[in-house]
């Protein structure tokens, strides 16, 4: 199955205790697509400026990502800069320059409108609605949002929530949206707003899947060294949605598998700046990392029916993905 992501392609300037980078490739759609393309053909719809490097477009296309929907217009590319505290307990934004992204109006081409799965990254809820109007009949729609839209565009966000299958939020966003302070209760309230599946990202504490009355916790992979957490949430979503796109059907079992794939991918992302670690990774790296989840509360076997990016050839029929806790 094919997958469409609509979001930002940007340049990030990031500083952590391990160093700093300037104008490094980033953006929600970038992190997402570089991960999801491990599993399924991924189309990106985004906008960049004339300053955007051709070499960065090449990095995406080399992964098998369809970049025909990345529009290049006059002006400068969306830029964000931030610095993390020594132990990553806080992140301070130094600047946000929307540039050409401030005028972003997603245009979905006919071949992109046929995508089986859609991920609406963190953009204005009105734009998310507009994207859905341009789609044919996607089998599964995932949506990301943030506190700015929850507080400032709540009515429009509630409207788009009635049209999606899954919502990806962190715990603070879930509390703000549901107006309560319990993860389980917040998920139930959000499900009543529309999405039957709620994924609550909790950083180093893992993630929670809520689907059809079942709530399941997925621990994070324990790492010796974290270099840069930027993009980890979008990488998680890319692994989640990409895995679903590789499956014959979407049910509770495949959603569980998607949680594993997203968790593994996010743990790789944070081990280097920008998309560098994700770009180096392949399916074998994800499978090898399963052993780090032995302490997981999840107890299942997961089938990774994985497709090489952009080729459509099954690379491994069955990959045992997770041992017993």
Beta-carbon contacts of 272 under 8 Å, excluding residues fewer than 6 positions away, are 227, 228
- pLDDT bin (cut points 50, 70, 90) of residue 130 is very high
Among positive and negative, which fits the CA dihedral 312, 315, 318, 321? negative
Which of 32, 37, 52 lies closest to 283, judged by CA?
37
249-269: burial string, b at 16+ Cβ within 10 Å, e else = ebeeebbbbbbbbbbbbbbbb
Q: What global pTM score does this model have?
A: 0.90
Residue 216 neighbours by CB distance under 10 Å: 17
Cα within 13 Å of Cα(193), Cβ side: 23
Q: What is the pLDDT of residue 324?
A: 37
Domains of the chain, first to last: 3-316 (3.40.1190.20)
Residue 198 neighbours by CB distance under 10 Å: 25
* Residue pLDDT, tens place only, 249-285: 999 999 999 999 999 999 999 999 999 999 999 999 9
The position carrying tokens 């990031």 is 14
DSSP calls for 284-307: HHHHHGGGGGTT-S-----B--EE
The counts of H helices and E strands in the chain are: 12, 15
Q: What is the pLDDT of residue 287?
A: 87
Largest CA distance in the chain: 53
Question: Which two structure tokens, joined as six digits, stand for 295?
Answer: 């302490």
Q: What is the pLDDT of residue 293?
A: 64
Which of 30, 9, 6, 148 lies closest to 79, judged by CA?
9
Residue-level length of the chain: 325
In this predicted structure, the answer to whether residue 195 has a pLDDT above a threshold of 60 is: yes
* Residue pLDDT, tens place only, 53-85: 999 999 999 999 999 999 999 999 999 999 999
Which of 58, 52, 59, 32 lies closest to 44, judged by CA?
32
């Amino acid at each position: 199955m094919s997958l469409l992501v609509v979001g930002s392609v940007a340049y990030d300037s990031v500083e952590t205790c391990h160093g700093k980078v300037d104008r490094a490739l980033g953006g929600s759609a970038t992190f997402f697509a570089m991960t999801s393309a491990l599993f399924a053909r991924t189309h990106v719809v985004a906008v960049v400026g004339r300053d955007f490097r051709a070499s960065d477009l090449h990095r995406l296309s080399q992964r098998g990502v369809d970049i025909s929907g990345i529009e290049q217009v006059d002006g400068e590319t969306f830029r964000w800069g931030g610095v993390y505290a020594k132990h990553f307990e806080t992140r301070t934004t130094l600047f946000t320059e929307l540039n050409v992204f401030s005028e972003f109006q997603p245009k979905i081409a006919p071949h992109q409108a046929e995508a089986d799965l859609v991920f609406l990254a963190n953009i204005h809820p009105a734009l998310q609605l507009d994207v859905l109007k341009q789609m044919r009949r996607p089998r599964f729609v995932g949506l990301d949002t943030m506190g700015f839209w929850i507080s400032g565009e709540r009515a429009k966000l509630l409207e788009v929530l009635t049209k999606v299958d899954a919502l990806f939020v962190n715990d603070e966003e879930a509390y703000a949206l549901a107006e309560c302070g319990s993860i389980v209760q917040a998920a139930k309230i959000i499900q009543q707003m529309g999405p039957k599946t709620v994924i609550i990202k909790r950083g180093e504490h893992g993630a929670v899947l809520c689907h059809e009355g079942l709530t399941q916790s997925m621990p994070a992979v324990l790492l010796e060294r974290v270099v840069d957490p930027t993009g980890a949430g979008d990488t998680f979503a890319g692994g989640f949605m990409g895995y679903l796109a590789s499956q014959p059907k979407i049910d509770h079992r495949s959603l569980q598998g998607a949680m594993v794939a997203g968790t593994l991918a996010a743990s790789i992302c944070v081990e280097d700046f920008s998309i560098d670690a994700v770009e180096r990774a392949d399916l074998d790296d994800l499978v090898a990392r399963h052993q780090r989840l032995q302490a997981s509360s999840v107890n299942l076997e997961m089938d990774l029916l994985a497709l090489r990016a952009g080729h459509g050839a099954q690379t491994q029929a069955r990959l045992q993905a997770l041992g017993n806790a």
